[in-house]
Amino acid sequence: MPVGDPALTLADLAGIKVTQLRGVDQRTAERLLGLEISTVLDLLQHYPRRYLDRTRQATIGELLPGDEATVLGSVVSAKSRRLGGRRTLTQVVIADDTGQLNLTFFNQQWREKQLKPNSEVLIHGKYEVFRGQRQMTSPVVDLVGDRTGRIVPVYPQSEKAGLTTYRIASLVTEAINRSRARGFADPLPASVIGRFKFVDRQMALQGIHHPSSMNEMYQARRRLVFDELLRVQLELVRRKQALTTQTKGIAHQMSGDLVNRFHESMPFSLTEAQRRVIEEIGKDLAAEYPMHRLLQGDVGSGKTLVAITALLIAVEGRYQGALMAPTEVLAEQHYLSVRKMLKQLMVPAPNSLLGVRPLRVELLTNRLGAGQRRHVLADLISGGVDIVIGTHALIAEKVEFKALGVVVIDEQHRFGVEQRAALRDKGTSQDAPDVLVMTATPIPRTAAMTVYGDLDVSELDQMPPGRTPIATSAAQSPLAVSEVWQTVRDEVAKGRQAYVVCPLIEESDSLEVSNVADMYAELQSTELADLRLGLLHGRMAAGEKEAVMAQFRKGALDVLVATTVIEVGVDVPNATVMVVADADRFGIAQLHQLRGRVGRGQHQGLCFLVGEPSTSEAKARIEALVASTDGFELAEVDLELRGEGTIMGERQKGRNDLRLASLRRDKEAVKLAREVAVEIIEADPDLRLHGGLREEIELLLGDNEAEFLMKS
Ligand code: ADP
Ligand code: MG
């Protein structure tokens, strides 16, 4: 590459195929493709997963049983033998100056070929002494080769395909060396680099791939993490900004009268948190840009009241409100409780004799009869219906509103972005309705900044008073479990009801998971023989499920043995006990949701997490649930334990630019990136003055992401 050409942008790097690197033949290219590397940019963004610091490596001689350790050694021998059936056992011996270590692998005969005598390997695993032998079972193996240098990067590699970490390292080094003449373009404003004392792109890429000290690597990582987070935040903030400045919303007029009457009709006063959140929402509604807000609040924190308040503000200004629930059952439940809460309310009706008429709430789901449905649809167009509650049926083509003002989306199970957008498009005037999304599975604030970064976030972080927190205990011994059933019998004797939840409905050979039907049969014939048991699972017909639920609701059943179909939307105040079988198979959020099904009435709720956790992580999850009933606190623990994978999940598909950054480890960086993004976008909404950043966002957040961002 001739000197004098402009510095290389990431887009330039994305335009160079790896086959242009020395020695990358077809076979190597295919192997690289297996790691999703086809361009030099892919290669440079294939970051090391670990570093070998030769000066600080443990030696085999100093390992203690139980240590989780990384050791460097060379292969002495590797042999496989059959275990019977198709199973094989491969035993590998490695050694360093201080001793020998045995490695065992099951069904990985290819290790024999991979681990040739005298090759240098980095082993990471749990060290044990078994029958006097030092060993590790199924450790992580990295082929280090004869790389020199104090710090050696260890890359995610394809061991089977024979692409070693040193091969990757030398390709990366070549790419960096050949780029040196032109250098790497740095799109980050110098002022930001200066403020945070960041290293530049050149040093960052060099330092992450080939550091001469661990400190150099940390500085490189800090910079690259920031770059990743900044790109995401810029896009989110840009989009949020676009929504507020380019879309015209409704500036709701509020006298406060209707809302006041509603609040006064409640048998309780609002919590501080409810007041604060309602004020936040009120400000958004009064403004002339559309609201785009997320309400996070634990089960039972009183989100419904907040939602109704938002809908009433719309109604007060002669607009309509819509509440969308993820399932029909939930929609019906919302409908019943909203109707009850709004029963007494009158709204102005200038053309009527009295000048007022009762506020009208309607339900719209696919279960509605054709006649009734037509009726509701017509009255939505005429404006006779003030508030409509429904499922996705609400976004069906035929539904039209006279003047949709506020949309509340109850997102227990997360609507797609498209659905949210479709509902917003129901606004008939060009003015976009205000949107409030509610979720009962809070995620930590820093995570929310990324996952819901396009939304403003309000938190109901306080429970209504007078509620006794659910008492949760773990039952891990047979004795403890039999006490659980005793408690269930006692509670039923007091007139209460109980749930027993099992993780799977089908028998699975490999997993010893309680089968809900087996559980039902067993309880019915043993521990709970004298009680009235019902069975509920996802494979039952809708009508059947309904019938069982109805029986349970009216008290004709004492105990409901169910799968997680009851996770959302079951509201039986008389149920006080939740028994979760094989609790270690559930995630924190799910257990917390399940637990939220009890203690909804005036009686103390009890939750039992049954089963011995099989991993240390499962143990930590169960301990967290026993220790805390605070959904926000549990969300933090969950993020700690599992990382962001699950949170990012569905929603983040295609948003794959976060390679180094972790929402868990890099919380501080998330906040800084957000701040910088807001600064930049406020001064330069379309990134006209930040062409480099803009180009990287387009390149790395990809089409998927762009589309995602446009739609929602
Ligand atoms: P969420 O939807 O957040 O799970 P709900 O809105 O269903 O919670 O409220 C749970 C229960 O708490 C309902 O019975 C509701 O009437 C009651 N509630 C709501 N706000 C308050 C309050 N400020 N004081 C007392 N009870 C409240
Ligand atoms: Mg609710």
Domain harbouring 276, CATH code: 3.40.50.300
Mean pLDDT by groups of 10 residues along the chain of 712 residues: 76 94 90 91 92 77 85 92 88 93 92 88 86 87 68 77 82 93 94 96 94 92 95 87 79 86 94 96 92 88 95 93 87 91 86 86 90 93 95 78 92 55 58 87 78 82 85 94 96 96 62 69 94 88 86 95 73 92 89 87 92 88 93 86 55 56 83 94 93 92 50 37
Cβ of residue 540 lying under 6 Å from some atom of ligand 1:
no
Residue 707 has what pLDDT?
45
Task: Let me know if residue 11 belongs to a domain.
Answer: yes
Closest ligand to C-alpha of residue 307 is 1
308: in domain: yes
- pLDDT score of 651: 41
Based on the fold, state whether residues 176 and 119 are members of the same structural domain: no
Instruction: List CB contacts of 466: < 8 A, sequence separation 6 or more.
Output: none
- Residue 299 Cα, ligand 2 centroid: separation in angstroms? 7
Per the structure, the complete domain to which residue 398 belongs is given by 258-286+301-439
Cα–Cα nearest to 674, from 234, 117, 372, 249: 234
Parallel/antiparallel/unpaired status of strands 471-475 and 361-364: unpaired
- Per-residue confidence (pLDDT) for residue 575, from 0 to 100: 94
Residues 24 and 66 in one domain: no
The whole-angstrom separation of Cα 515 and Cα 499 is: 15
Question: What is the residue-wise DSSP string for 481-544?
Answer: HHHHHHHHHHHHHTT-EEEEE-SBSS--SSS---BHHHHHHHHHHTTTTTS-EEEE-TTS-HHH
Query: What does the pLDDT read at residue 173?
Result: 92
Distance (angstroms) between ligand 1 centre and the Cα of 302 equals 4
β pairing state of 68-84 and 87-96: antiparallel
Q: Three-class SS string for 331-400?
A: HHHHHHHHHHHHCCCEEECCCCCCCEEECCEEEECCCCCHHHHHHHHHHHHHCCCCEEEECHHHHCCCCC
Q: Same domain, yes or no, for 621 and 475?
A: yes
pLDDT at 708: 44
Q: Which two tokens stand for residue 682?
A: 């406020």
Tell me how far the alpha carbon of residue 304 lies from the centroid of ligand 2, in angstroms.
5
646 C-alpha to center of ligand 2: Å?
A: 24
CA–CA dist 680, 677 (Å, integer):
5
> Considering 104, 134, 154, which residue would you say is the last residue of a domain?
154
* In the block, residue with structure tokens 């040193």: 166
Report whether 333 contacts 571 (CB < 8 A): yes
What is the residue with the minimal CA distance to atom 25 of ligand 1? 464
| 299 Cβ inside 6 Å of ligand 1 | yes
**103 shares its domain with 21:** no
Q: What are phi and psi of 201, to 5 degrees?
A: -55, -45
Q: Whose CA is nearest to atom 11 of ligand 1?
A: 300
Q: Is 295 in the pocket of ligand 1 (CB under 6 A)?
A: no
Alpha carbon of 381 to ligand 1 centroid (Å): 32
Instruction: Please give the pLDDT value at position 512.
Output: 40
Residues 65, 11 within the same domain: no
Residue 683 belongs to a domain: no
Nearest CA to ligand 1 atom 23: 270
**Is 442's C-beta closer than 6 angstroms to any atom of ligand 1?**
no
User: 371, exposed or middle or buried, with CB in 10 Å at 0-12, 13-18, 19+?
Assistant: exposed
How far is the C-alpha of 265 from the C-alpha of 267, rounded, in Å? 6
Alpha-carbon distance values, 654 to 606, 651, 706 (Å): 41, 9, 10
Ligand 1: residue of 277, 301, 439, 602 to mutate (most ligand atoms within 8 A of CB) is 301
709 in a domain, yes or no?
A: no
Å from CA of 553 to ligand 2 middle: 17
503, part of any domain: yes
Q: Are residues 29 and 76 in the same domain?
A: no
Q: Are residues 31 and 85 in the same domain?
A: no
Answer whether 30's CB lies under 8 Å from 24's CB: no
Residues 39 and 62 in one domain: no
CA distances to 632, 662, 673 from 446, rounded to whole Å, are 12, 11, 11
**What pLDDT, on a 0 to 100 scale, did the predictor assign at position 405?**
93
Whether residue 272 lies inside any domain: the answer is yes
229 domain residue, yes or no: no
Placement of tokens 């002339």 in the chain = 288
559 CB within 6 A, ligand 1: no
pLDDT of residue 510: 42
- Between the CA of 144 and the centroid of ligand 2 the distance, in Å, is 55
By alpha-carbon position, which residue is closest to atom 15 of ligand 1? 302
Element (H, E) at 192: helix 190-196
Q: Where are the alpha helices (DSSP H) in 406-477?
A: 417-424, 445-451
In CATH, what number is assigned to the domain containing residue 133?
Answer: 2.40.50.140
Indicate if 348 and 408 belong to the same structural domain. Answer: yes
Domain boundary among the residues 397, 423, 439 is at: 439
Q: Is the CB of 271 under 6 A from ligand 1?
A: yes
Say if ligand 1 is within 6 A of residue 301 CB.
yes
Q: Into how many domains does the chain fold?
A: 4
What lies within 8 Å, CB to CB, of 154 at 6+ separation is 48, 49, 50, 51, 52, 122, 142, 144, 165
Q: Are both 406 and 536 inside the same structural domain? A: no
Instruction: Tell me the best of 268, 298, 408 to mutate to test the pocket of ligand 1, counting ligand atoms within 8 Å of each CB and taking the most.
Output: 268
SS3 65: coil
* 212 contacts 150 by C-beta, under 8 angstroms: yes
Rounded CA gap, 164 and 142, in Å? 8
DSSP-derived letter for residue 252 is -
pLDDT for the residue 614: 84
> Is residue 270 within 6 Å of ligand 1 at its C-beta?
yes
How many Cβ atoms are within 10 Å of 69's Cβ, its own excluded? Answer: 20
**Under a CB-based contact definition with an 8 Å cutoff, are residues 108 and 16 in contact?**
no
Among candidates 131, 110, 132, 134, which has minimal Cα distance to 123?
134
Do 93 and 79 sit in the same domain of this protein?
Answer: yes
Separation CA 438–CA 293 (nearest Å): 9
Q: How far is CA 577 from the centre of its chain?
A: 28
Cα(300) to centroid(ligand 1), Å: 5
User: Sign of the CA dihedral 61, 64, 66, 69?
Assistant: negative
Ligand 1 atom at minimal distance to the Cα of residue 410: 2
Asked if residues 500 and 519 have their Cβ atoms less than 8 Å apart, the reply is yes
Q: Is residue 67 part of a domain?
A: yes
Question: 60 and 141, same structural domain?
Answer: yes
> How far, in Å, is the centroid of ligand 1 from the Cα of 268?
10
Q: Which ligand is nearest to the CA of 263?
A: 1
